[in-house]
A and B are shown apart, each in its own frame.
Chain A
């Protein structure tokens, strides 16, 4: 079945640094990928929709300059948390939809746990 890979799975870094998270669709192409954020014991909140070859669409309240999204190919989207602070610590999950199966649901990656010290 379709697989979405996220890397890294866990990252710890100092406050003020920037962190890049990769989301790859391994066996299908995806013009659209989605980035979610999940706080402990809470639900997933859609942050932005990543569109291949164009600008991402951000949900209300999500800082575009804080969370930079790049979708340079049909199989890779990246989320960069710039100048990360402790309040950015969270579980970030990406998902992607298989282009060739328009009625199929999104496939989720295993998530990236980000801890900012």
Chain B
């Protein structure tokens, strides 16, 4: 069975500050890991994904995440927050052998203050 835990349902940062959104996973098989962003009343947009290649993954909009097997973590970071980064962020895991089934975390709402 697989699961994802996102620590912190809400994260607030000032514009220009570091963004850190936490994600820990549980998987009995090699995982694929994803970060998605959701703006109000919209679907999900893929930010980045880990598929067993490089452990440091760079995505769109300046985001990156590092896969740490020893810590079962896949935290999302961005060096400098923009106002436009305010949104809901979801971490998701899938089985490397069955990438169709995505298991989502409960989401983290990021607020960016001027």
Q: Are A and B interaction partners?
A: yes
Closest residue on chain A to residue B90 by CB atoms: A43
Classify the secondary structure of A's interface with B: strand
Interface residues of B in 53-100 (CB under 8 A from A): 90, 99-100
In the bound complex, CA of A41 to CA of B108 (Å)? 10
Q: Among B13-21, B23-31, B44-52, which stretch is in contact with chain A?
A: B44-52
What's the interface size class on A, roughly?
20 to 34
Stretch at the interface among A13-21, A72-80, A103-111: A103-111
Cβ-defined contact, B106 with A32, below 8 A = no
Instruction: Select which of B44, B51, B105, B106 is within 8 A of A108 by beta carbon.
Output: B44
* B contact residues around A41 at 8 Å (CB): 107
How long is the Cα–Cα vector from A13 to B34 in the complex, in angstroms?
35
- B34 touching A111 by the CB < 8 A rule? no
> Does residue A93 face the partner (Cβ distance < 8 Å to B)?
yes
A41 to B38: give the CA distance in the assembly, Å: 11
Whether A43 lies near B105 (C-beta < 8 A) is yes
Find chain B residues with CB under 8 A from A111 CB.
Answer: 41-43
Provide the bound-state CA to CA distance between A49 and B98, in Å.
13
CB-CB < 8 A to B99: which residues of A? 103, 105
Contact B43 A93 (CB under 8 A): yes
In the complex the two chains form, is A43's CB within 8 Å of B107's CB? Answer: yes
Q: Are A97 and B46 in contact (CB under 8 A)?
A: no
Binding site for A on B (CB under 8 A): 34, 36, 41-46, 49, 51, 90, 99-102, 104-107
Which A residues have a C-beta under 8 Å from some C-beta of B?
4, 6, 9, 32, 34, 41-46, 49, 91, 93, 95, 97, 103, 105-111, 113
A-B pairs with beta carbons under 8 Å apart, 16 shown: A9-B41, A32-B100, A34-B100, A43-B105, A43-B106, A44-B90, A44-B102, A44-B104, A46-B102, A93-B44, A95-B43, A103-B99, A106-B100, A110-B41, A110-B42, A110-B43
Query: What are the 7 closest A-B residue pairs judged by CB atoms, nearest first?
Result: A108-B43, A108-B44, A43-B104, A110-B43, A43-B106, A44-B104, A111-B43
